[in-house]
Amino acid sequence: MNFYALDFETASYAKHSACSVALIKVENSQIVGEYYSLIKPETDFFWKNIQIHGIHPEDVADAPKFPEVWAQIHACFQQNTLVVAHNAGFDCSVLSGCLDYYGLQQPNYMSLCTVKTSRKLFPEMPNHKLNTVCDKLAIQLNNHHDALEDSRACAEILLYQEKHFGVEPLKKLVTMK
């Protein structure tokens, strides 16, 4: 399998409030690269979000704004590229919200949600939250809600599913963005 695992953290409920992003690159079913950046959002931080991910306004004071980050990662979002996220609806909507906010072109790419694949392949789990799935599959997740840790865990979940179930049940859940 070849894909990028994506995770965003946000400063608020605004879809354009990304304050960190991470991508894990997988080629031939092996993790071969990673990208992480803090992002300076043009929104206020909500205390609840800070409590979740621990990123404070002062942490991103000198961070690049989204367009600078997008210039570094946009090649990961091409028509034939598979982008995977745990709760892909959220992460894809943050990407879309940031692109809209800055007037940047929306890419066309394939998307796969490991919440959905986990629900299909592991219906017996009590829930399909990232930490629950990682715990049940013995996948290391040291710092949940750190974008790099979460995207790495997401990649590991999909690789576990590929190894144990093959790609056919996964292909059925791929969507176009």
Nearest to 177 by CA among 121, 94, 61: 94
Nearest to 118 by CA among 145, 91, 104, 137: 137
The pLDDT score that the predictor gives to residue 113 is 98
Higher pLDDT pick, 142 / 20: 20
pLDDT band of residue 79 (cuts 50, 70, 90) is confident
Residue ranges covered by each domain of the chain? 3-176
Backbone angles phi, psi at 114, to 5 degrees: -80, -10
Residues in a beta bridge with 67: none
Architecture of the domain whose range is 3-176: 2-Layer Sandwich (3.30)
pLDDT digits (tens, 9 = 90+) for 123-158: 999 999 999 999 999 999 998 899 999 999 999 999
pLDDT band of residue 47 (cuts 50, 70, 90) is confident
SS3 116: helix
Q: Would residue 175 be called left, alpha or beta, if left means φ above 0 and alpha means ψ between -120 and 50 degrees?
A: beta
The pLDDT score that the predictor gives to residue 8 is 97
Is the pLDDT assigned to residue 52 strictly greater than 90? no
Average pLDDT, the chain: 96
